[in-house]
Each structure stands twice: as C-alpha cells, then as structure tokens.
A and B are shown apart, each in its own frame.
Chain A
Amino acid sequence: MTRKQRRLVLIGSALTVLAIAAALVLNALRDSIVFFSTPSMAAEKSIPPGQRFRLGGLVQAGSLERGKQLQVKFVVTDGNASLPVMFTGILPDLFREGQGVISEGALDAAGVFKADTVLAKHDETYMPKDVADALKKQGHWKDESAQQQNAAGAKAATSVR
C-alpha cells in the first residue's frame, strides 16, 4: 500500500468510529435524558403520565406519611403548586420536611408522582442547586447564607457555654 492509501484507511476508520459514536450519542440523548421540573413547571408543561422526569422542590411540612412495607408519601411544593409523591424504600439521611428534595420517576394516571429515586441535599448548608434556582426564580428563596451565619454564631455561642 502506498502512503496515501494507508492514510485513507486510517482516516476512513476514524470517520467510521466517529460516525458510530455520533449516532450512539444522538440516539441516547433522545431517549435517556431526564428533564427537571418543579411542581408548577410540571403543571404548566402538562407532562403526560409515564414520562420520566426529575421533580424538585421542598418537602411540605407535615405531609410525610409512612405506610407499611417502607411505603412513603409526601408532598413536594414550590409555593405555587404541589404534587403528591409516592416512594417505596429508604429515604436518604438528609431527607427532612421543609427541606429541598429531588425525586426521579413519572406521574401515574391519577396524577401521583411515583418516584424510584429520592435525592436529598448533601449537608445542612447545601440545597440542590436546581431546586434553589427554581425557587429563586419563583420568588420563594430565602437567603439561607444569612441564616447560616446566625446559626453558626449560635452554635459557637452554645459551645462556649
């Protein structure tokens, strides 16, 4: 083979691999990405039952109900709208009423969000960024950092005793 033919083989195989990869990526992007919504965004977009999405918001205070066999029901709210969520399994360590949460799943025919994954924030100073942004946009954001400063001061004060 001449140098030119060899180069053609090389370029040809590189392009083939790239084309396959591009096809795979486009195909996967169409089918396997999951959109994020707050309850009001979900109502606005009228997401059909069965379509997977991520629901983010605050766990409404007093809404957590534990059924038998680790069934959990709670309401996710963003201040304007809310959605009931059903989940079976163990909630994350930092799941609390009144705190931010993201759950992934789909709506059923009755309009209940059946979650198969529930994610909570990582520590007490952290709110899922998607939730924080959405809440800020809808004007329900209370500046947490100011509260944290106070809390930290209080903690330091209590440990002084």
Chain B
Amino acid sequence: MIAEAGHYALALALALALVQSIVPVIGARLGDPRLMGVAASTSIGQFAFVLFAFGVLTTAYVVSDFSVVNVYENSHSAKPLIYKITGVWGNHEGSMLLWVLILALFSALVAIFGTNLPLVLRSLVLAVQGWIASAFYLFILFTSNPFLRIADPPIEGRDLNPVLQDIGLAVHPPLLYLGYVGFSVSFSFAIAALIEGRIGAAWARWVRPWTLLAWVFLTLGIAMGSYWAYYELGWGGWWFWDPVENASLMPWLAGTALLHSAVVMEKRNALKVWTILLAILTFSLSLLGTFLVRSGVLTSVHTFASDPTRGVFILAILCVFIGGSLALYAWRAPSLTQGGLFAPISREGALVLNNLLLTTACATVFVGTLYPLVLETLTSEKISVGAPFFNLTFGPLFVPLLLAVPFGPLLAWKRGDLLAAAQRLMFAGLCALLALALLMAWTGAGAVLAPLAIALAVFVIVGAMSDLIEKTGALRLAPQISLRRAAGLPRSTWGTAFAHAGLGVALLGIVCETTWNSERIAAIKPGDVVAVAGYQVKLENVVQRQGPNYREQVARFSILRDGQPIATLSPSKRAFSARGSSTTEAALLTRGLSQLYISLGDQSADGSISVRLYYKPLVVLIWFGAVMMAFGGLLSLSDRRLRVGAPKPARPARSLQPAE
C-alpha cells in the first residue's frame, strides 16, 4: 500500500503544481491578490507531497521492499543502511525524484522567505517554478515512475552499482542538484521580470542571494564529485573532461558570470538585459546537463539506464523551456530600460570582462561537449573530444581572466584608475615574480609553463589579500585600528577575497599536481619494495576478507621514508557477488597537502600483484581551493545587505522602475 501512497502523493503534487502554474498568472493579470496568494500555499503543499513521496521511496529502500521494481533493481538486503538510503538516488527514477524534491524545496523557500517581495513578482516567480515542476512531474509519472510494483516479488535485490556504494553518493548528487535546481529560482525571477516588463535594482537584490546559494552548492558538488572520482575510479585523475563533468561545469561557469553581473545590476543598475539572459542561460545549461546525463545519449558512470522515450521527453522539456524563454526574451527584453553609464576601465568594465571570458570559456566547453553528438547525428562518424581539446581552448581563455581577477575589486565604480590599481597590486606582482624566479632556478630551464602558471596563482592569491590589506590598513596602521576596520568590513568584501584566493589556491594545486606527479606501475610480490618520490612502499601481505555484500582482496603496504616506517596503507579490490562486478578501493596517505595514492590491479598466475602508485604533490589544494570559493560565497551570503529576506533600505530610488 505504502508505495501506492507515494505514487498518489506525486500525482497530487502534480495537480498542485498545475494550479500553481495557472492561477497566480491569472491573478497577476487581473490584479487579484487572492488569486496571486494561491501560489505560496500551493508551493508549500507541493513540497509536503513530494517530501512524502520521497520518504515513501526511502522507506521502501530501508526495509528492502523488493516488490517495488526500483528497489529490486538497485538494492540488496545485505547492503549497509547508509547505502540503502543513498541508493534511493543512485538510479534514474530516484534521482529524478530527488530533482523535483529539491525544486519543490526551493519553491517553498521562495514562498516562505519571499513575503516582502512585491506580490505580483512573487506569484509570477512561483508560477514559473510551477511550470518547471509540472513538466518534471509529468516526466516522472509517465516515463520514470519509481513506485512500480513487480507482480511476483523476488526474495533478493540486484544490488546497487558497486562504484556507487560509497559515501560520495550521499554527498555529491544532493549538493549538485541543490546547485543545478537552485538556478531555477534565478530563471523564474528572470521570466517573471520579462512577463511583468519591469526590472530594477531591487530585482537584482533578490536574485543575487538565490544565485549565490545555488552557486555555493554547485561549487561544493563539483568539487566533491571530482574527489570521489579521484579516489574511487582508481586512475588517480580528478578531472577527465568527461561530458557529464562538463555538463556540471557549464552551469557553474554561466552561474559565476551571473553572480558577477548581478552585482553590477544591483549596485549600478546597469547590464539588466544581459543579467536576464545569463539567468536564462544558466538554468538552460542546468537543464541541458540533466538531459545529457539522464537521456542516455552519453555513456558514463552517471548514466543509469537508457530508454529512448525518456530522452525524447527530456528533449521536449528542454526545447519548450529553453526555446520558450529565449523567445520571450527576444520579444520583451527590448522594452526594458537601459542602465547606467560606465567607462571601460571601471569596476563595471572589469565585471563585463569577467562575464565575457567566462561565457566564452563556457561556450568552448559547450562546443567540445556537444560537437561529437552533433557530428554523429549528421555524419554517423564517431569521435571523442578529450582533455587536449579543452586544454587548448579553455586554458588560454582562463589565463587573461585570472590575470584580471585581482584588478576587479580594486577598481572604482563608474570610472576606475588602472594605474592606481596596478600600484596597489605591486606587492602581489613582486611575489609572483619572486615565485617565478625561484621556480625557474629550481627546475632549471626545463618547464616554463608550470612556473608561469604558479606565478599566476601566487598573483591571484596575494592580489586577493592585497585588497583586504588595503582596506583594513594592516601593516600601515596600528593593529587595533586595522582589527576594528577588519571587523567593520562588509562580509561580502571578505567573501570576494576568499573566493578569489580560492581560485588561485585551486590553480596552484592543479599545476603542481599535473606537473610534478610521479607514477609507478609495477607487478610485485609480498616483501618487494617500490620507490616513488622518496617514499619506499613495501608490500607486506595480501589477504582475503569478507565484507557485508562483497569479498575483498586487501594488500597491506608499509610506507617508509628514509628507512623509517611512517604508515600502513591497505588498498583493496572488491568483488560484488550480486552484480558480478568489482571495484578498486584506492588507499590514500595525506602528508601535508600532498598525497600518496595506491591502487591495485590484477593478481597474475605467479602470485605477483600489479599496483599503481602515485605521488601527487599539493593535490589537496585543488579541492581546498574549491571549498574556499564556496566559503567565500557563504560569507558573502551572510552579508546583512544580501541576507535572504533582509529588509530593504528606505531608498525609494531603488524601487522597481516601470518599463518605457
């Protein structure tokens, strides 16, 4: 019965979403506050129903109810409880349910925290959320129903794909979806503004926190996914330019651009039309990502199952929403008012440059990701576009962006002084040059690219800190005064500094890891020692162990440095009987910011086992940098001026401006 209750709740949520899609729009047209008020209650009710449906599916997983097809196909009674729960979204149907759950959550949040939004804007925003939700409920109910039953229930399930039986599944998809779906709010705001034909600084003030929130989650989700792939796939790589990874990178790039253009719009009331377009594009790329991953046109670990009807359905959703919103944009955008003026060298100018480079970089990723699909459709020639393509296109576009990052916050609004900014960045420049000289001396004439890239990273990090030093007067004023100044700085200034420095930190990690990582592959027997990057790795023994739903072969290694044992590592290979497949569990030793990485290969007939050893200098910085960026975003979000639902300052000039 319970599964049917979940199914029914989902159908009721669809009914509420349909009401939410239509009634508030009519209300806004007629100016009837009662009809517009329907939006808030339906979106909260909708969330309650989806939450119930999600709870039902989770229960079915926890109690291993194999009469539900979805549970039978993706669960096993011997699976640890945590993977029973995370297994809910470790498959197509469940992950779509998570998608709509998060969508309904965001709508409910807008309904709850948006009480001081203008009523017309709020009801239109919620109506657009209702359109998206209706489309996805229909998709789930017609093509991906997670509550289907089996007539003759089996005793045991087929287990979850072993690669997904990891704590990463508990963290990565929810974070990523919070990011993807979070952008739906800025999309809905953009569409609402276009329908209403009004847009102003207050609009940007509302959109920015929501965008920032989604961006923080997406940043963490991508970083977490990258770390998960790094330790789970056993190849020691952390980014493969896999189409599915690109599908999450594109909304991130567009979302980062949106974040910055919304600043210009809020502070200077300029770039309105562009900000609206970015909001549409960002969510469209999120939808495209969902399409690429869920339709089965791509093959990867993320594609759980392919079913052509699903692909066609998502493609239809994609066309309606992207095509419809762009058509609406083309129709209504010219009626929006022009914004304020600014000189090319100014904070606005720097942010425009940021937007230009980010969107162009995003476009190159888009081309690299979709070109193989288009070419295959047109000529049935199959190609793969890999890392070399992206290194050649994405890299050169990011270098000028990184160079410009420290300048942005130092330029004044409206008209900036590049020379003064350059003077203030003198110290950062000197640090970068020093780093370059030291590295060139250390590496010899060999690689020039790596020292240059590291100097760039140093420039970005020190440049981000220069802004703080400048504003607090540290090194210049008495410590008490600068401390007081630091406490008085707006949190968004701290957020900017953290996010920008995080970018530099991540770059530092990326460059060091790719340039100086050492790899050894060897076939060894117990007692053999392999040396890698100054560490001696000794294979002690190989034992078999029984886990809850797998058998594993564990190799125990002693790690020695200068003959002294410092740690033991136990990588393993797990064989999962239910699916007849196996996974490689790499073992990691973190020393400072660097990692030693061991993964196992096959055992050959003579008893030797093949192992892959990596030493990855400063690799931790890659994810640490991403976490710093997300932390900067959170700091900025906690800024009083931006806090979701914070009262507006009493400045009538900032209120909505009518379209002309």
Chain A residues packing against B (C-beta within 8 Å): 1, 3, 6, 9-10, 13-14, 17-18, 20-21, 24-25, 27-29, 31-36, 54, 66, 68-70, 88-91, 93-94, 104, 122-124, 126, 128-130, 133, 152, 155-156, 159-160
Option from A32, A90, A104, A152 in Cβ contact (under 8 Å) with B610: A90
Please list 28 pairs of residues, one from A and one from B, whose beta carbons are closer than 8 Å in the complex, sorted by A's number. Answer: A1-B344, A3-B341, A13-B353, A20-B396, A21-B361, A21-B363, A25-B393, A27-B392, A28-B392, A32-B386, A33-B385, A35-B381, A35-B383, A36-B383, A36-B384, A54-B382, A70-B523, A70-B601, A90-B612, A91-B601, A93-B573, A93-B581, A93-B584, A94-B581, A94-B582, A104-B384, A123-B161, A130-B382
Q: How far is the CA of A31 from the CA of B388 in the complex (A)?
A: 9
Q: How far is the CA of A129 from the CA of B243 in the complex (A)?
A: 14
Q: Which residues of A contact B149 (CB under 8 A)?
A: none
What's the nearest-Cβ distance from chain B to residue A125, in Å? 8
Option from B364, B384, B580, B604 in Cβ contact (under 8 Å) with A33: B384
Q: Which residues of A contact B364 (CB under 8 A)?
A: 21, 24-25
Is B601 a contact partner of A6 (Cβ separation < 8 A)? no
Is B385 a contact partner of A32 (Cβ separation < 8 A)? yes
Q: Which residues of B contact A13 (CB under 8 A)?
A: 344, 353, 356
Q: Which residue of B lies closest to A21 (CB)?
A: B360
* Closest CB pairs A-B (n = 5): A90-B601, A32-B388, A36-B382, A159-B156, A156-B154
Q: Which residues of B contact A91 (CB under 8 A)?
A: 601-602
Check: B578 CB closer than 8 A to any chain A CB.
yes
Check: B437 CB closer than 8 A to any chain A CB.
no
With contacts A34-B383, A54-B384, A70-B610 known, is A89 near B583, CB below 8 A? Answer: no
Is B299 a contact partner of A6 (Cβ separation < 8 A)? no
Q: Which residues of B contact A160 (CB under 8 A)?
A: 154-156
Is A90 a contact partner of B521 (Cβ separation < 8 A)? yes
With contacts A35-B383, A70-B610 known, is A126 near B299, CB below 8 A? Answer: yes
Q: Which residues of A contact B356 (CB under 8 A)?
A: 13-14, 17
Check: B158 CB closer than 8 A to any chain A CB.
yes
The contact string, 1 if C-beta is below 8 Å from chain A, for chain B 335-366, is 00000011110000000110011001101100
Q: Which residues of A contact B34 (CB under 8 A)?
A: none
Is B582 a contact partner of A93 (Cβ separation < 8 A)? yes
Is B353 a contact partner of A128 (Cβ separation < 8 A)? no
Q: Which residues of A contact B385 (CB under 8 A)?
A: 29, 32-34
With contacts A90-B602, A122-B163 known, is A152 near B158, CB below 8 A? Answer: yes
Q: How far is the CA of A129 from the CA of B300 in the complex (A)?
A: 10
The contact string, 1 if C-beta is below 8 Å from chain A, for chain B 600-629, is 011010000010100000000000000000
Is A32 a contact partner of B392 (Cβ separation < 8 A)? yes
Q: Which residue of A lies closest to B580 (CB)?
A: A124
Q: How far is the CA of A94 from the CA of B158 in the complex (A)?
A: 18
What's the nearest-Cβ distance from chain A to residue B297, in Å? 9
What's the nearest-Cβ distance from chain A to residue B599, in Å? 8
Given contacts A104-B384, A156-B155, 12 further A-B contacts (CB under 8 A): A3-B341, A17-B397, A21-B397, A24-B364, A27-B392, A66-B604, A90-B610, A93-B583, A122-B301, A123-B579, A159-B154, A160-B155
Option from B343, B397, B523 in Cβ contact (under 8 Å) with A69: B523
Q: How far is the CA of A130 from the CA of B599 in the complex (A)?
A: 28
Q: How far is the CA of A10 from the CA of B350 in the complex (A)?
A: 11
Q: Which residues of A contact B584 (CB under 8 A)?
A: 93
Q: Which residues of B contact A31 (CB under 8 A)?
A: 388, 392
Chain B residues packing against A (C-beta within 8 Å): 154-156, 158, 161-163, 234, 299-301, 341-344, 352-353, 356-357, 360-361, 363-364, 367-368, 371-372, 381-386, 388-389, 392-393, 396-397, 521-523, 573, 578-584, 599, 601-602, 604, 610, 612
Q: Which residues of B contact A94 (CB under 8 A)?
A: 581-582
Q: How far is the CA of A89 from the CA of B522 in the complex (A)?
A: 8
What's the nearest-Cβ distance from chain B to residue A80, in Å? 17
Q: Which residues of B contact A128 (CB under 8 A)?
A: 299
Q: Which residue of B lies closest to A127 (CB)?
A: B299
Interface hub of A90, A129, A160 (most chain B Cβ within 10 A): A90
Is B344 a contact partner of A9 (Cβ separation < 8 A)? yes
Q: Which residues of B contact A9 (CB under 8 A)?
A: 344
Option from A3, A32, A88 in Cβ contact (under 8 Å) with B389: A32
Option from A1, A21, A29, A34 in Cβ contact (under 8 Å) with B384: A34
Option from B383, B384, B388, B582 in Cβ contact (under 8 Å) with A28: B388
Q: Which residues of A contact B602 (CB under 8 A)?
A: 90-91
Is A89 a contact partner of B396 (Cβ separation < 8 A)? no
Q: Which residues of B contact A20 (CB under 8 A)?
A: 396-397
What's the nearest-Cβ distance from chain A to residue B418, in Å? 14
Q: Which residues of A contact B601 (CB under 8 A)?
A: 70, 90-91
What's the nearest-Cβ distance from chain A to residue B405, in Å? 16
Is B578 a contact partner of A155 (Cβ separation < 8 A)? yes
Q: Which residues of A contact B368 (CB under 8 A)?
A: 25, 28
What's the nearest-Cβ distance from chain A to residue B296, in Å? 8
What's the nearest-Cβ distance from chain B to residue A89, in Å? 6
Interface hub of A10, A36, A133, A155 (most chain B Cβ within 10 A): A155
Option from A18, A25, A156 in Cβ contact (under 8 Å) with B156: A156
What's the nearest-Cβ distance from chain A to residue B59, in Å? 22
Q: Which residues of A contact B161 (CB under 8 A)?
A: 122-123
Q: Which residue of B lies closest to A130 (CB)?
A: B382
Q: Which residues of A contact B341 (CB under 8 A)?
A: 3, 6
Q: How far is the CA of A152 from the CA of B74 in the complex (A)?
A: 12
Option from B384, B521, B583 in Cβ contact (under 8 Å) with A70: B521
Q: How far is the CA of A157 from the CA of B397 in the complex (A)?
A: 57
Is B393 a contact partner of A28 (Cβ separation < 8 A)? yes
Q: How far is the CA of A54 from the CA of B381 in the complex (A)?
A: 12
Q: Which residues of B contact A123 (CB under 8 A)?
A: 161-163, 579, 581
Q: Which residues of B contact A34 (CB under 8 A)?
A: 383-386
Is B573 a contact partner of A70 (Cβ separation < 8 A)? no
Is B386 a contact partner of A29 (Cβ separation < 8 A)? no
Q: How far is the CA of A117 from the CA of B344 in the complex (A)?
A: 48
Is A29 a contact partner of B612 (Cβ separation < 8 A)? no
What's the nearest-Cβ distance from chain B to residue A47, in Å? 13
Q: How far is the CA of A25 from the CA of B384 in the complex (A)?
A: 15
Option from B158, B163, B343 in Cβ contact (under 8 Å) with A155: B158
Q: How far is the CA of A89 from the CA of B520 in the complex (A)?
A: 10
Q: Which residues of B contact A24 (CB under 8 A)?
A: 364, 392-393, 396-397
Q: Which residue of A lies closest to B158 (CB)?
A: A152
Q: Which residues of B contact A36 (CB under 8 A)?
A: 382-384
Q: How far is the CA of A152 from the CA of B150 in the complex (A)?
A: 14
Interface hub of A27, A68, A123 (most chain B Cβ within 10 A): A123
Is B397 a contact partner of A29 (Cβ separation < 8 A)? no
Is B371 a contact partner of A29 (Cβ separation < 8 A)? yes
Q: How far is the CA of A20 from the CA of B602 in the complex (A)?
A: 47
